[in-house]
Structure 1
Amino acid sequence: MEIARLILDYIKALTWPAVTLGGLFIFRQQLRDLSGRISRANFMGVEIEAAIRETQTAIEEAVTESEEELPLETSDPALLWLEPNPPRFGESDLDQALQKVDRLEHMVRRFAYEVDTSVAGETTLQAARTLVGAGLVHQSSLRVLRELLFVRDQGGRGLSAYETRQLADSAAQLQLVLQVAQHAYRNPRTRVVGDP
């Protein structure tokens, strides 16, 4: 009788932990997905804030810093190369999309020049290859840049409104990639998400 009561007490004591573990096991995929979206949690007075906040702050700093252009001397022969296109003053969506590609080209040239001044006078794609070679941007960014420059050089002829928006969005996204890379280059202690 004593043994039966002892076993019953053990079962009562282990029921809720077993149910909890079983629930965690059954819903493990959903919990894993949920934990990827949570940036802040509070459990029994212990507050946990994920590294998402730090990453967002680093990206915001990168965007702010990359918008501050490095001063150039007017006697610098690379000045014309660093300012490749006169500004466009169109009001249409296509003109605005082409302006974004122009700004992207400007950013690529300035960043490549910052990394290696010998790229002055080279094509924008050769300057971008310098960034790829330095491990600052991925090869896929070079392919996207090549396509954007090709469309820009064609004047965007034949683009639908949707394709024009895609052109502008792609240029803006690649600018953001470059801004983060610039921040990482200028602040080598910054760890970008995905780095080892």
Structure 2
Amino acid sequence: MDCLTFISELIRSLAWPVATFGIALLFRSQIRALLKRIKRGNWGGMEVEFAEDVERISEEAGVELVALDEISESNTNRFIREADPEMRPVLELAQGDPRGAVLAAWTSVDAAMRRLAAAKGVEPSGAMRLMRELAEGGHIRKEDAEQFNELRKLRNSAMHDGTFNPSFESVARYAELTSRLAGHFERLARGPME
């Protein structure tokens, strides 16, 4: 192969990658905006977005959730039997109806927040307004309100997204987060902020 043939082949093999890179560079702001709108992906029947959001919320709250290998498909029934008695109905529901389980888990934290609001004399209203008034009144930490809102967003996804079908593991972890926050609100309703 002579030098000119080599250079010609090199240019031919690099033409499309260089053109693609140039186009991506030229339209980078539009591509970035488009990628921000892509929020969901399915992998093996698991809603990636839901599972990642549950993990992120737990990290932000400083909550160490049960390890995923403890709630794998092979030992789901044992995990349910050994779970907190209040969580068992939600976990049993999660086996066949993950959407219903998320909604059921949400009701515990929503009800606890409403009991807390009543105990602190906050007038009944919508969940977000109650949460804002509890935070502004110093009855809860800002972090509690943020966690509540993030869990509410996930509940809304479960309620309104017809393709919602997360894994049992991610629903169990969501239920654990809602149960912990509900317990925290119940303790606050009985006494001063921790």
State the TM-score bracket (shorter-chain normalisation): 0.3 to 0.5
Per chain length, whose mean CA-contact separation is higher, i.e. which structure has more relative contact order (CA < 8 Å, sep 6+)? 2
Q: TM-score when scaled to structure 1?
A: 0.43
Instruction: Decide which structure has greater helix share.
Output: 2
Is the radius of gyration larger for structure 1 or structure 2? Answer: 1
